[in-house]
Amino acid sequence: MTVAYKPPTPVDVEHLIQELTVDEKILLLAGKNFWETWNIDRLTIPSLKVSDGPNGVRGKEMFDGPTAACFPACVSLAATFNLGLAKKIGNALAEEAETKGAHVLLCPTVCGHRSPLGGRNFEAFSEDPLLTGLLATEYVKGLQESGIGATIKHFAANEQETLRLSVMQTVAERPLREIYLRPFEIVVKKAAPWACMTSYARVNGSGTDSSTKLLQDILRGQWGFQGLIMSDWGSTTTSVDSVNAGLDLEMPGPAVWRTPEIVRKAFDDGRINLKTLNARARAVLNLLVKASRFDDVRTEPVKETAVDRPEHRELIREAGGEGIVLLKNDGVLPLQADLFQSIAIVGPLAKYPTAHGGGSATLNCHYRTSLFDAVTARFPHKNVMYAKGAHVYKIFPELEGGADNCRTKTGQPGWLAEYFHSSDRSGEPFYTNVFPRSSFMTVLDPPSQGHKSVQFSSTYLPKDSGLHYVGFSSLAPAKLFINGELAFDQTEPFMPASDLLMLFNDEPHFRYTFEAGKSYEMVVNLVAPTEPSDEIHILDFQSGIHLGLVSQAEMEADVVGDAVALAKQADLTIVCVGKTEKWETEHADMKSMALPANGSQDRLVAEIAALEGVQTIVVNSTGGPVCTPWINEVDALVQAWYGGQESGNAVLDVLLGDVNPSGRLPMSWPKAMEHCAWFGHFGLDSMVTKAVEYVEGVNVGYRHFDQMWGTEKEVRFPFGYGLSYTTFTIEPVGVEGSLSPESAPGASIAVTVKVTNTGTRQGKAVAQVYICPPISSTTARPPKALVGWAKIHLQPGETQETTVSFERDSLAFWDDAMDCWTVEQGMHDVLVGTSSDPKDLTKTTVGVNIDEAFTFAA
């Protein structure tokens, strides 16, 4: 059900601009707090609330606010190749925003997948700019037609999380235009997003927040962007320059770079003129109008609530299932339920629902369904067995208030944080808060601001005896006491600070002996940092700790042996592997393509696959490709991504054949990262120089691997690939239309294809259309590029014709010398098929012939 969007009441923004004082205009140029803009009560100008995120609307709390619906990650949505589904999810997210009182969502992420090691790839769509741009366009339309603003991010070239707050990136103009800016351009021109967020990255010598070229010349000037430009949280790097370059809003608030004093002095000195100040304030006011804020001027914020809608459950399950990609199937799938009575579901993710990745995508889901949950619910009379099979801890799990018998000194489940104005914790705490688990951060807890020290405590009753494994880290020097004795002393601040904020750090470990049934008073004493953060100002003078624990029995158990033993007993074995949100997350790229941790999951799969007579189905839940050294030994491989709160049910739907898999890979799947064109120039490679060069140019993803067919570097699975439980043929029918220097900008080429379901099951085919540059081209260009696709549902034996259209942009490349787009003279071959693999493609009889080369402006 779509939110009924009521057009906003007309507001005379220009009159408001005239009525606002200079100081009031300045106030509008930065946030009021972490999630809101300023209100100007004198003129009845309301505030506006924003919220993360791309796969669900979290609200103001990072971890423990009211629950929310968790949708599949954008990479899973991209794998559907379904534009209509993307729009439906946008509609649903708008309804979710209403429950959290949000008017603008900080999504979607439209940066590309430069490397499979990208920690935030799951949150973005694809390596291909067209697939990204068109899906994001429908997502944005779905949000905004329902009255909630979209914020496309992160503009621009935010493909790396390592050192993202400081890394200097060098990107040549042609790849910048063709690969990294192209998705933004598509969404701006086709969907008119209400907002755009700048990235942390420094690109070609400038912070994006201060880049006149990116913000004024390209985004506003060439593309005609009419929305608001805001900074990523803490990414503003200048005061005067960012205002003059076109950054409308510094987030979060209160202002750091745009304090009233700084901006007023710059205005009085003539470094910021009135026209510029009015333009920045106007953008904020226009956003308020679009979001209908002048129609609802309540001063009290809307109470955040949890609304678990049945129709959203259904949509999440549908989208999750349609995004699943069947990568290998030796005839074991779909499963026939009457052929098995016992099922072994093993692996670290068998009972761990992989709903979302980490960072801004973190969500307090209404619920999460694992594959084990789904199977036991569907087959209550079958013998469903479970074994963990491998440990994949990056940090040890926190001690929970209820589950781990942790209680505060006042008897509440959880952990008590007491904040003091004194460094020695003398006097009474000025503020206290109870947290459900053994971690906290003050950055999202406004009443704690101004603290000088913290005591964090709980009484723990362990269930097992043993020499347990404990992990501890703090933003500032801190001491951990257990029953009054010093157990761990962190003498230096944890760096980088944002690692602790995102809870994915490799923290120090130690061992401690606990006895079951005995109570242990756990107390952390820390002094707040006295120096600014080493990275980002939103962490200045903030405190935070993480305390995790794993019992000796759990850590030292023969988890692989237990899983193998179950597989020997079962009629059917499903191995659930992948990554948790601690491994795949904002602010951290991955070190390799291997599954974590230390080969444990690969060893699990290999040992089970080696068992005689055991059919092995592997379900992998990650945001992108991983190494698969066992691929030739397993019977089936299912790529499940991060499927939202219904992920377990969606996977089971596909395994049973209730849903015929129709997902297609939105990225290339290399055999090894060493085969990628960027190798040696990404992520950890930039740690020493704090700089990275996009050495591969436009050869990103399949554009590079198309040149590797027949070599050891050809991909494991190509872009656009995916199996089905039926079979399809895709045949070219014809190509119509022409392009010339005289063609209007909207002129298009139409490619007609005939798609036939040649199998015995209904299913969905994805007919993909690629175009090749002329053989006579004098410019080095990739062998082909995706120009469109059609997804078609067919019954067994059914045939349909469909048309895929594309415009001049799909034939053009960026000409550095002429500073414009160029369409070359010559024959451009057209290929149609089921993936980017040459053996899956057929060339049309007639291509697109350009009689005369021509150019057009950006």
Distance, in Å, from the CA atom of 827 to the CA atom of 588, rounded to the nearest integer, reads 44
Mark 817-835 as b/e (b = at least 16 C-beta within 10 Å): eeeebbbbebebbbbbbbb
- 432-456 as b/e, with b when 16 or more CB fall inside 10 Å? ebebbbbbbbbbbbeebeebbbbbb
| 209/668 Cα distance (integer angstroms) | 32
Chain-centroid distance, C-alpha 217: 28
Positions marked active-site? 232
- Bridge partner residues of 345 (DSSP): 386, 574
The single-letter code of the amino acid at 92 is A
The H-or-E segment that residue 142 falls in is helix 129-144
The whole-angstrom separation of Cα 758 and Cα 729 is: 7
Q: Taking CA 417 as the corner, what is the angle to CA 412 and CA 420, rounded to the nearest 5 degrees?
A: 135
The Cα–Cα gap between 480 and 462 comes to 17
CA atoms within 13 A on the CB side of 146: 27
* Calpha distance 435→457 (Å, rounded): 10
Structure tokens at 28: 């509008």
Q: What angle do CA 137, 139, 144 make, to 5 degrees?
A: 95
- Per the DSSP assignment, residues forming a β-bridge with 437 are 400
- What does the radius of gyration of the chain's CA atoms come to, in whole angstroms? 27
Q: For residue 664, which of 72, 74, 71, 80 has the smallest C-alpha distance?
A: 80
The string of DSSP letters for 422-449 reads STT--S--SEEEEESBSEEESTT-GGGT
* Encoded amino acid at 66, one letter: P
Angle (deg, nearest 10), helices 182-191 and 129-144: 30
Crossing angle of helices 647-656/371-378, nearest 10°? 60
Among 37, 27, 99, residue whose Cα is nearest residue 287: 37
Q: Report which DSSP code applies to 222.
A: I
